């Protein structure tokens, strides 16, 4: 018999017996073309006849073949044989066909193609890297990602004798590897490029003509491992002088004399940035003391990219005579600055005093200073108050959390409000969760009605203010409405925005939310390590002790209805909230200890204030009496800042600060005010009602 004329099919038939040879999951076993296939390699089942030799130059059935030629990788269907460049390799598992899909052992294929294989233990993904391409696979999934984009495979990945198997086409399609199926020989033939591969990136995100020194970062390699000996560039400039679109092409030559395909990037070169133009006008050049100044900002930027405005003497009025220079500085997104100033004159004539001017002209949502010592002398309105049956779950103690665990747990049915406010002091990243558990024998439903979440952030007052603002917005727009179905014994995470982001050390979160359940549901509020699974962690978490300063508890009747039918505002009057006298603290219980609780400040309470007769020309303002306050109101359905803005401008720091809430016109009006105390702020607070002076 002429073994040099042995057909390729015959070789595969004999090598099928070799599949009984143990093969490591981490290695492939190469068999060179001149190796004898005997018992020493495959075991006794190979027989004791003459050795079989692979001859790449032979003929199969009288037909010339180049199947083992350079650049071809041949895979046997339902076999472990892999023929490449005249060398026969044994895969760690046979290529397996399941439901019409061919699966390949990942490591074996990667080794033959010359790719990089790693395992991401954090995401539990097998990662294949080919140049700038990255493929990520998960076990028992029919999806994978190609350069971060999720794709669907023709089948589901699985393990076969501890070897990771994926559909062959998932790799060939992602990496654009052409292949054909030989139905006669039952084999798949992959065509692997032998060309070197070239690519590059440009580090700069924005390139300005005549200014930007462009940094090119190249990446080139040879699939055969040949050194790169030459580069070729077209259109490359270190500093582009002309505005517009530029095409840059890069190619490399390897030591075997093969050029890569050209790699091209289109670069958009922008014109140099021009600074913004600061400009404003005033309605007059000369004003009386206490006269309203109207300033119109007409600053421009060619890219409409003004990101900041800094004013000097941008006041509504001045109360001393003499020249005043108003200055505006505008800054664009590139940091370029434009300035403009104008000098106006304030005469010796007075139109309004400062207190009268503020009452008439300070815009709604803005604050002004006044003599706060007069507030206690104002008439305190004696209003009537009723309640709605909404259960408040307040999780605020310990406010600063030092260990993982359960910060609060309670079972409630029907309308339930959550107020959650905590600081991460664990010294590591954490997440907070609210978990709903149905301990009934029948299904339960939790309907999320409204939700306002803010954080994580380092500033408790700001976080509290934003949570109230978003809570009101969800009421206005029904943005959060959703239904959560719970089977008997089932637990689910609700308020996913709460745990969407990790809390860094000393960051604060704040949540205000309303739900309604048809059956009693157990709600558990936890803080755990950011990488831990919430649902599996619950059975092992300990209850965290309260801090003795802040408040936690369950409080019934947490929506208070205040209605006042007499005329308000003809004289100086005030409505006090959160003072524990006219507005007593809610009483409840700490569900974790069973101890009685008093809701100091009534945080989490919703006040719905209906004032049926507010006198004409009445100014309503908001005045803090217990310390710094920064929050929001709903006034006739509109969200009003207390005051508007962030930082010092967005906070009422002292009892001498007050924020404008509403002004009635020339006739009596009904005014509705909804108020919930902002977490991180201080109570009590007053709503002040004063007559405005006559306009001149």
Residue 355 φ then ψ, to 5°: -60, -40
Is there a single domain that holds both residue 243 and residue 294? no
Is there a single domain that holds both residue 50 and residue 11? yes
Is there a single domain that holds both residue 166 and residue 233? no
On whether residue 365 sits in a domain, the answer given is no
Q: How many domains does the chain have?
A: 5
Is there a single domain that holds both residue 53 and residue 139? yes
**pLDDT band (50, 70, 90) for residue 23:** very low
Closest residue by Cα to residue 110 from 82, 86, 85: 82
Confidence (pLDDT) at 648:
77
Confidence (pLDDT) at 234:
97
Give residues with Cβ within 8 angstroms of 429, minimum separation 6: 502, 503, 504, 505, 529, 530
Do 676 and 392 touch, CB atoms closer than 8 A? Answer: no
On whether residue 356 sits in a domain, the answer given is no
Is there a single domain that holds both residue 543 and residue 412? yes
DSSP codes of every residue in 119-152: EETTTTEEEEEETTEEEEE-TT-SEEEETTEEEE
Is there a single domain that holds both residue 133 and residue 68? yes
Is there a single domain that holds both residue 40 and residue 121? yes
Domain boundary among 498, 525, 552: 552
On whether residue 361 sits in a domain, the answer given is no
Is there a single domain that holds both residue 428 and residue 308? no
On whether residue 494 sits in a domain, the answer given is yes
Q: Is the pLDDT of residue 29 over 50?
A: no
Domain boundary among 218, 235, 270: 270
3-state secondary structure of 692: coil
On whether residue 364 sits in a domain, the answer given is no
Long-range contacts of 346-350 (CB under 8 A, 24+ apart): 346/286, 346/287, 346/288, 346/289, 346/318, 346/320, 346/321, 346/322, 347/286, 347/287, 347/288, 347/289, 347/321, 348/289, 348/321, 349/288, 349/289, 350/288, 350/289, 350/290, 350/319
The whole-angstrom distance between residue 205's C-alpha and the CA centroid of its chain comes to 23
When pLDDT is averaged across residues 161-180 and rounded to a whole number, the result is 94
Spatial distance between the Cα atoms of 549 and 547, rounded to a whole number of angstroms? 6
DSSP letter at 95 equals B
**pLDDT band (50, 70, 90) for residue 481:** confident
Confidence (pLDDT) at 69:
54
When comparing pLDDT for 483 and 28, which is higher? 483
On whether residue 180 sits in a domain, the answer given is yes
506-536: pLDDT as tens digits: 999 999 999 999 999 999 999 999 999 999 9
Virtual torsion, Cα 405, 406, 407, 413, nearest 10 deg: 160
When pLDDT is averaged across residues 31-37 and rounded to a whole number, the result is 31
Closest residue by Cα to residue 634 from 481, 480, 475, 511: 475
* CATH number, residue 289: 2.60.40.10
Domain of 307? Answer: 280-351
Spatial distance between the Cα atoms of 300 and 4, rounded to a whole number of angstroms? 83
Task: Say how many CA atoms lie within 13 Å of 8 toward its Cβ.
Answer: 28
When pLDDT is averaged across residues 202-217 and rounded to a whole number, the result is 95
135-148: pLDDT as tens digits: 999 999 999 999 99
Domain boundary among 146, 175, 191: 191
The whole-angstrom distance between residue 13's C-alpha and the CA centroid of its chain comes to 56
- In sequence order, what E strands does 276-336 have? 280-282, 286-289, 295-297, 306-312, 322-332
On whether residue 109 sits in a domain, the answer given is yes
The whole-angstrom distance between residue 457's C-alpha and the CA centroid of its chain comes to 14
Do 128 and 112 touch, CB atoms closer than 8 A? Answer: no
Is there a single domain that holds both residue 620 and residue 480? no
H or E segment and range at residue 334: none
When pLDDT is averaged across residues 478-494 and rounded to a whole number, the result is 92
41-82: pLDDT as tens digits: 223 332 222 323 333 333 333 333 444 456 789 999 999 999
**pLDDT band (50, 70, 90) for residue 36:** very low
Residue 531 tokens read as 């990488």
Q: Is the pLDDT of residue 451 over 70?
A: yes
Residue 64 tokens read as 């010339």
Do 82 and 73 touch, CB atoms closer than 8 A? Answer: yes
Sign of the CA dihedral with 624 first, then 625, 629, and 635 last: negative
Residues facing residue 683 across a β-bridge = none
On whether residue 366 sits in a domain, the answer given is no
Do 251 and 198 touch, CB atoms closer than 8 A? Answer: yes
Is there a single domain that holds both residue 563 and residue 545? no
Is there a single domain that holds both residue 647 and residue 667? yes
């Amino acid at each position: 018999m002429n073994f040099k004329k042995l057909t390729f099919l015959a070789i595969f038939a004999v090598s099928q017996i070799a599949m009984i040879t143990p093969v490591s999951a981490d290695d492939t076993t190469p068999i060179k073309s001149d190796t004898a296939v005997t018992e020493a390699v495959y075991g006794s089942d190979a027989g004791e006849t003459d050795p079989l030799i692979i001859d790449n130059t032979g003929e199969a059935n009288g037909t010339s073949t180049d199947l083992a030629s350079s650049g071809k990788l041949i895979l046997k269907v339902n076999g472990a044989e892999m023929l490449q460049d005249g060398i026969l390799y044994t895969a760690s598992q046979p290529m397996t066909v399941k439901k019409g899909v061919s699966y390949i052992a990942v490591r074996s294929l990667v080794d033959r193609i010359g790719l990089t294989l790693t395992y991401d233990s954090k995401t539990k993904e097998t990662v294949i890297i080919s140049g700038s391409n990255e493929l990520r696979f998960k076990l028992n999934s029919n999806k994978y990602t190609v350069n971060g984009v999720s794709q669907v495979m023709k089948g589901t990945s699985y393990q076969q004798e501890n070897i990771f198997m994926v559909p062959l086409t998932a790799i060939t399609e992602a990496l654009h590897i052409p292949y054909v199926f030989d139905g006669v020989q039952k084999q798949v033939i992959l065509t692997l490029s032998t060309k070197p591969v070239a690519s590059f990136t440009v580090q700069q995100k924005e390139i300005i003509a005549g200014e930007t020194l462009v940094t090119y970062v190249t990446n080139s390699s040879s699939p055969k491992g040949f050194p790169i000996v030459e580069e070729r560039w077209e259109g490359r400039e270190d500093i582009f002088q002309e505005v517009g679109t530029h095409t840059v092409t890069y190619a490399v030559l390897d030591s075997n004399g093969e050029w890569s395909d050209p790699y091209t990037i289109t670069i958009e070169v922008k014109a140099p940035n021009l600074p913004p133009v600061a400009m404003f006008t005033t309605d007059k050049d000369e004003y009386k003391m206490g006269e309203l100044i109207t300033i119109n900002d007409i600053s421009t930027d060619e890219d409409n990219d003004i990101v900041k405005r800094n004013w000097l003497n941008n006041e509504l009025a001045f109360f001393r005579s003499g020249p005043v220079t108003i200055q505006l500085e505008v800054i664009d997104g590139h940091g370029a600055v434009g300035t403009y100033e104008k000098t106006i004159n304030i005469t010796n004539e007075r139109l309004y005093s400062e207190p009268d001017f503020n009452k008439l002209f300070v815009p709604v949502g803005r604050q002004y200073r006044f003599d706060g010592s007069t507030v206690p002398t104002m008439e305190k309105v004696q209003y009537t108050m009723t309640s709605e049956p909404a259960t408040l779950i307040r999780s605020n103690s310990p406010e600063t959390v030092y260990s993982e665990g359960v910060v609060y747990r309670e079972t409630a049915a029907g309308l339930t409000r959550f107020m959650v406010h905590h600081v991460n002091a664990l010294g590591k990243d954490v997440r907070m969760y609210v978990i709903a558990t149905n301990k009934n024998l029948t299904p339960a439903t939790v309907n999320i009605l409204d939700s306002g979440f803010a954080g994580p952030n380092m500033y408790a007052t700001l976080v509290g203010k934003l949570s109230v603002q978003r809570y009101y917005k969800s009421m206005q727009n029904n943005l959060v409405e959703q239904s959560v179905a719970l089977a008997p014994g089932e637990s689910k995470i609700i308020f996913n925005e709460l745990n969407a982001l990790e809390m860094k050390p000393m960051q604060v979160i704040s949540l205000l939310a309303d739900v309604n359940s048809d059956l009693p549901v157990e709600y558990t509020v936890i803080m755990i390590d950011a990488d831990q699974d919430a649902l599996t962690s619950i059975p092992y978490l300990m209850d965290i002790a309260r801090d003795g300063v802040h408040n936690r508890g369950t409080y019934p009747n947490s929506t208070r209805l205040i209605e006042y039918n007499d005329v308000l505002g003809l004289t100086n009057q005030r409505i006090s909230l959160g003072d524990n006298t006219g507005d007593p603290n809610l009483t409840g219980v700490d569900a974790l200890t069973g101890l009685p609780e008093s809701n100091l400040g009534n945080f989490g309470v919703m006040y719905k204030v209906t004032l049926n007769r507010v006198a004409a020309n009445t100014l309503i303002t908001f005045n803090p009496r217990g310390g710094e306050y920064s929050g929001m109101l709903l006034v006739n359905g509109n969200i009003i800042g207390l005051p508007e803005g962030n930082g010092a401008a967005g906070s009422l720091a002292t009892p001498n600060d007050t924020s404008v809430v509403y002004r009635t016109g020339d006739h009596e009006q009904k005014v509705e005010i909804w108020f919930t105390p902002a977490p991180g702020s201080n109570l009590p607070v007053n709503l002040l009602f004063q007559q405005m002076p006559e306009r001149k």
